[in-house]
A and B are shown apart, each in its own frame.
Chain A
């Protein structure tokens, strides 16, 4: 190879790399600026769970979620998908009382999962719901590493359970989690777990708009000793608990 040919090819490669990367940056900046303001922005959905009203033996919220969102069980404890689960928590003290705590995605205001997602498949919708765009997820599972609440599950296997045909079933290879029943919220309904909890006559779960100071949830948060899980991590979770 003579000098001229070398410089030509080398130069073309370098310029190509630089231009290509530059274009990416440009597009990313343009994308983030071009976001539309939408009607969603006026709400900020949150949830409050009163543990004093939560019955340890009741799994109404979990069952309703599985049915509503086709969340499958493979019969393999380590690979089952959980959107909401009930954990039993107790102090490390002899004869300590066991408490049953429903755990779900906290829909943080500063979500660690969204921060690390390389494709922006995980994102915060304008009304504060943290969602996974499964059309864009590449299945790298970095979000599962970053989430301190273990809210996310990987779909290890294709599923065929399809109890609710309005909601998609699953194909393997993407990450999923609680979406606060976004399809119901858009219709003006409450999440399935909240509804099931009320129907089971517990009423431990309250769903509502945190932006509206007159909403039921805002008043409860203002007038009770509420707690969030691992608030110290600075993620600003939007699921509050009474009596933890």
Chain B
């Protein structure tokens, strides 16, 4: 019994299922037009702890590094801490969540750590 046609059909279906998010985004409602690029509001203009370009790509690494240093070595670097982010970006809703929901990243930091969704003032 030749099973080849069946196998090809199954593989094709699997491939379509796997690629469905990309297909949906590309052809479903026009190329990448489904979700608009988020507008980011920065409360206190000025210099961040690193360049903007570096921060965009590497803020999570800075936070992870300072997290491990703080927890395991007791080095509480003030600049690189989550609390220091809040001094210029007082609310998570206007800053973190916008990009994170745009790219679908779900950091767990705020399940336990305090960072208000709306600015408290």
Contact = CB atoms under 8 A, between A and B. Distances in A.
Touch between chains A and B, by CB atoms below 8 Å: yes
Interface of A: 36, 38, 40, 123, 125-127, 131, 133-135, 158, 162, 165-166, 168-171, 182, 186
Interface string B54-81: 0000000000000110011111100000
B114 A162 contact: yes
Interface of B: 67-68, 71-76, 108, 111-114
- Nearest first, the 9 closest Cβ-Cβ pairs linking A and B are A168-B112, A165-B114, A171-B111, A40-B74, A168-B113, A133-B71, A38-B73, A171-B112, A169-B112
A166 B76 contact: no
A186 B111 CA distance: 24
Contact of B74 (A126, A165, A169): A126
Nearest to A164: B114
A186 B77 CA distance: 12
A123 B74 contact: no
30 contacts: A38-B73, A38-B74, A38-B75, A40-B73, A40-B74, A123-B72, A125-B72, A125-B73, A125-B74, A126-B73, A126-B74, A127-B74, A133-B71, A133-B72, A134-B112, A135-B68, A135-B71, A158-B111, A162-B114, A165-B114, A166-B114, A168-B112, A168-B113, A169-B112, A169-B114, A170-B112, A171-B111, A171-B112, A182-B74, A186-B74
Contacts of A133: 71-72
A168 B73 CA distance: 18
A165 B86 CA distance: 13
Contacts of A171: 108, 111-112
A158 B68 CA distance: 23
Nearest to A172: B111
Contacts of A126: 73-74
Contacts of B108: 171
Contacts of B67: 135
A223 B114 CA distance: 45
A177 B111 CA distance: 19
A165 to B, nearest CB: 4
